[in-house]
Amino acid sequence: MRVSETLIPTLREDPGEAETVSHRYMLRAGMIRKVAAGIYTYLPLGLRVLRKIEKIVREEMNRAGAQEVLMPVASPAELWRETGRWDFYGKELLRFKDRHERDFCLGPTHEEVITDLFRREVRSYRQMPLNFYQIQTKFRDEIRPRFGLMRGREFIMKDAYSFDRDEAGARLSYQKMYDAYNRIFARCGLTFRPVEADTGLIGGTSSHEFMVLAETGEETIVYSEEGTYAANVERAEVLPPDASELPAPRPLTAVSTPGRRTVEEVTKFLKIAPTQLVKTLLYTTGKDTVAVLVRGDHDVNEIKVKHLLGATDVELVVPERVPELTGAPVGYAGPVGLKNIRVLADWAVKAMANFVVGANKADTHFVDANWARDFTVDHFADLRNAQAGDPSPRQDGTLKTAKGIEVGHVFMLGTKYSQAMKATFLDAQGQEQLAVMGCYGIGVSRVAAASVEQNHDAKGIKWPIPIAPFHVTLLPLSQSEPVTQLASSLYRSMQESGIEVLWDDRDERAGVKFNDADLIGAPFHLVIGEKGLAQGQVELKVRQTGDTKKIAPDQALPTLT
Ligand code: ATP
Ligand code: MG
Ligand code: MG
Ligand code: MG
């Protein structure tokens, strides 16, 4: 492509609104433009990057045996009512009415729509397993859209949904996607790590997130140095608070706390099975009160409570009794959890500082527990070990934390959706069975931004070759006849040999062209200067390393291919 014929509105100055490197550089390189909060137009360069990522995703999804479909952006409320998510999804679901006053939403994810397809079209186990995927625009009315493509309201996702005959098959489908994701992110040139994850609004039985490691990541992961354990802190059973945020510790003392409700009472009160317990945060709200924040599955019937430290007696403080947790009805888990508690002002931070922890003894608690001092990882493992049903805590090594960007997420759904929507098939015995499902997402547009977070310097982006908008920027530094002629012949021969080349054919100063080339970040820059050419040389620069070398013009093509 010729720069003179392409809209690449680069910016010299940093746009004020951009807080992260990727947001700043993608705006400055003329790749994206904001239309509304969290809603962007992809300009030619930005779109080329997305198409590259999509191509890698398609190749690997096809290779893993998934078939591509394309579902609608608008979906009818009836389907969402069947699973209860019409009420449950909350404000992230953008709803509207059509001219007949029928309720619709813009799809934030497509479990309902694909499960509806399955139950209508698939009858027999012979047609299974199945895995459908699409690459499509999603809409989530994010409370805080930010960081450009990183957290948009409208964004591009690859979502896939598997349907298996049984658990074992579903696990195999999950593993295939897990493997495909590893290949996809490796091929995109990202440094990443799969971690155990929470299931959030999608629900299901287990999941892994793929985290791109970057300082600007919104997620915190904990992992063992030995590499045997890695999890999102939302999921991790060890939740190390940030010591710098906490007031000085007080001595740990045991107190008698007779008459507290037991976990059994609590679970009964919530109408859940104790086996559904997963996570709790525990702290004091007053001198003597133990508060338990529950983190659920966005489903009132599935509120999951667990006493974090193995205590047997807790008093339950449900979010409606905690006024600071505004907008959190009982059982709605959105604003609950360590990550969110952090932003819930002083009240929560203070509470976390010297908190009451459960003892394993009836009628006893410790007050003024201090995480760093009183709970080593091993100690914690002991406590959890003491709990029935959790015999194998794995995080017994030294744990470290890192920041990450969630670029992909795979879920084992089980029969959550097939049951709600009666998605069945006939097995070999002619018996009706529920399909066992999995679902798998990749934030295609987020991958682009995450790549910039990992690959940049003070001058701009350094795209990895597989997802770069162009392989080469061709930079003739003058409009003289020999320079232009060489540029145009190299342009043609590169195109003919499949090298994607951006020809900066503008009549601009060398400095402007260099700056733009560095900003846009193609992996190779081929500079044709008048003086060099007179000596039979052009200059090849590798953007990633900054290395340059002088070569003869007729060596340019062989060097690049
Ligand atoms: P997050 O925790 O960042 O809000 P999520 O867990 O809600 O993401 P999923 O439901 O797991 O997202 O969706 C699958 C993938 O879609 C995510 O792993 C992420 O890469 C991408 N994604 C989700 N929300 C956004 C968004 N607002 N903007 C861009 N990409 C997104
Ligand atoms: Mg989200
Ligand atoms: Mg998430
Ligand atoms: Mg997720």
Mutating to test ligand 1, I would choose from 92, 157, 212 the residue with most ligand atoms within 8 A of its C-beta, which is 157
Question: Would you say residue 410 has pLDDT above 90?
Answer: yes
Maximum average pLDDT range among 80-89, 195-204, 401-410, 421-430: 421-430
Question: In whole angstroms, what is the distance from residue 405 CA to residue 76 CA?
Answer: 32
Provide the pLDDT for residue 221: 81
Residue 182 burial (CB count, 10 A): 15
Provide the pLDDT for residue 219: 86
Question: Would you say residue 53 has pLDDT above 80?
Answer: yes
- Residue 210 Cα to ligand 3 midpoint, Å, equals 10
Q: In this predicted model, which residue has the larger pLDDT, 335 or 523?
A: 523
* pLDDT band at 201; cut points 50, 70, 90: low
The DSSP letter of residue 192 is E
Provide the pLDDT for residue 17: 86
* pLDDT band at 58; cut points 50, 70, 90: very high
With beta carbons less than 8 A apart as the criterion, state whether 255 and 297 touch: no
List CB contacts of 54: < 8 A, sequence separation 6 or more.
Answer: 135, 156, 158, 444
Q: Following DSSP, what letter does each residue of 73-100 receive, concatenated?
A: SEEEHHHHHHHTHHHHSGGGS-EEE-TT
With beta carbons less than 8 A apart as the criterion, state whether 503 and 491 touch: yes
Mutating to test ligand 1, I would choose from 57, 143, 446 the residue with most ligand atoms within 8 A of its C-beta, which is 446
With beta carbons less than 8 A apart as the criterion, state whether 332 and 85 touch: no
Residues with CB under 5 A from ligand 3 (ion): 406
Which residues lie with the beta carbon below 6 Å from any ligand 1 atom?
109, 140, 142, 151-152, 155, 157, 200, 202, 406-409, 441, 443, 445-446
For Cα atoms 17, 52, 524, give the angle at the middle one, nearest 5 degrees. Answer: 80
pLDDT in tens, 456-478: 999 999 999 999 999 999 999 99
* pLDDT band at 222; cut points 50, 70, 90: confident
- Residue 443 Cα to ligand 1 midpoint, Å, equals 6
Average pLDDT over residues 61-88: 96
Task: Give the SS3 label for residue 191.
Answer: coil
- Residue 408 Cα to ligand 3 midpoint, Å, equals 9
- Residue 395 Cα to ligand 3 midpoint, Å, equals 22
Average pLDDT over residues 205-211: 87
Q: Following DSSP, what letter does each residue of 60-78 receive, concatenated?
A: HHHHTT-EE----SEEEHH
- Residue 212 Cα to ligand 4 midpoint, Å, equals 13
Q: Following DSSP, what letter does each residue of 283-309 receive, concatenated?
A: EESSSS-EEEEE---S-GGG-----TT
> Which own/partner pairs from 509-517 qualify as long-range (CB within 8 Å, at least 24 positions apart)?
510/477, 513/475, 513/477, 514/475, 515/10, 515/12, 515/459, 516/3, 516/8, 516/10, 517/473, 517/475
* pLDDT band at 199; cut points 50, 70, 90: low
- Residue 222 Cα to ligand 1 midpoint, Å, equals 19
Q: Using a pLDDT cut of 70, give the percent of the chain over it.
A: 68
Ligand 1 nearest-atom number relative to CA 218: 3
With beta carbons less than 8 A apart as the criterion, state whether 490 and 557 touch: yes
* pLDDT band at 386; cut points 50, 70, 90: very low
- Residue 407 Cα to ligand 4 midpoint, Å, equals 8
Question: In whole angstroms, what is the distance from residue 205 CA to residue 417 CA?
Answer: 12
Nearest CA to ligand 1 atom 1: 406
Which ranges of 231-370 would DSSP assign to H, the alpha helix?
263-269, 338-343, 345-353
Ligand 1 nearest-atom number relative to CA 108: 10
Provide the pLDDT for residue 128: 98
Q: Decide the pairing of beta strands 230-232 and 253-256.
A: unpaired
Average pLDDT over residues 484-511: 97
Ligand 1 nearest-atom number relative to CA 109: 10
Q: Using a pLDDT cut of 90, give the percent of the chain over it.
A: 62
Average pLDDT over residues 9-14: 95
Average pLDDT over residues 254-265: 45
* pLDDT band at 202; cut points 50, 70, 90: low
Question: Would you say residue 514 has pLDDT above 90?
Answer: yes
Instruction: Give residue for tokens 């591009």.
Output: 156
The DSSP letter of residue 166 is S
With beta carbons less than 8 A apart as the criterion, state whether 50 and 165 touch: no
Nearest CA to ligand 1 atom 23: 443
Q: In this predicted model, which residue has the larger pLDDT, 210 or 378?
A: 210
Question: In whole angstroms, what is the distance from residue 541 CA to residue 539 CA?
Answer: 6
Ligand 1 nearest-atom number relative to CA 200: 6
Provide the pLDDT for residue 314: 31
Question: In whole angstroms, what is the distance from residue 174 CA to residue 354 CA?
Answer: 41
- Kindly report the average pLDDT of the chain as a whole number: 77
Which ranges of 122-262 would DSSP assign to H, the alpha helix?
167-187
Provide the pLDDT for residue 234: 63
Instruction: Tell me the pTM.
Output: 0.77
Element holding 396 (H helix, E strand): none
Torsional class of 309: left (φ above 0), alpha (ψ -120 to 50), beta (otherwise): alpha
With beta carbons less than 8 A apart as the criterion, state whether 8 and 30 touch: yes
Question: In whole angstroms, what is the distance from residue 45 CA to residue 8 CA?
Answer: 7
Q: Which of 357, 429, 367, 332 is nearest to 91 (CA)?
A: 332
Provide the pLDDT for residue 379: 29
Q: Which ligand is nearest to the CA of 145?
A: 1
Q: Which of 73-82, 175-184, 367-376, 414-423 has the lowest mean pLDDT?
A: 367-376
Question: Would you say residue 292 has pLDDT above 80?
Answer: no
Average pLDDT over residues 61-87: 96
Task: Give the SS3 label for residue 534.
Answer: helix
Question: In whole angstroms, what is the distance from residue 339 CA to residue 473 CA?
Answer: 43
Residue 533 burial (CB count, 10 A): 19
With beta carbons less than 8 A apart as the criterion, state whether 152 and 445 touch: yes
Question: Would you say residue 172 has pLDDT above 70?
Answer: yes
With beta carbons less than 8 A apart as the criterion, state whether 295 and 362 touch: no
Question: Would you say residue 194 has pLDDT above 80?
Answer: yes
Provide the pLDDT for residue 242: 44
Provide the pLDDT for residue 233: 66
Question: Would you say residue 315 has pLDDT above 50?
Answer: no
* pLDDT band at 76; cut points 50, 70, 90: very high
Half-sphere exposure of 167 (CA within 13 A, CB side): 3
Question: Would you say residue 306 has pLDDT above 50?
Answer: no
Number of H helices, E strands in the chain: 17, 28
Q: What are phi and psi of 251, to 5 degrees?
A: -60, 145
Average pLDDT over residues 263-271: 45
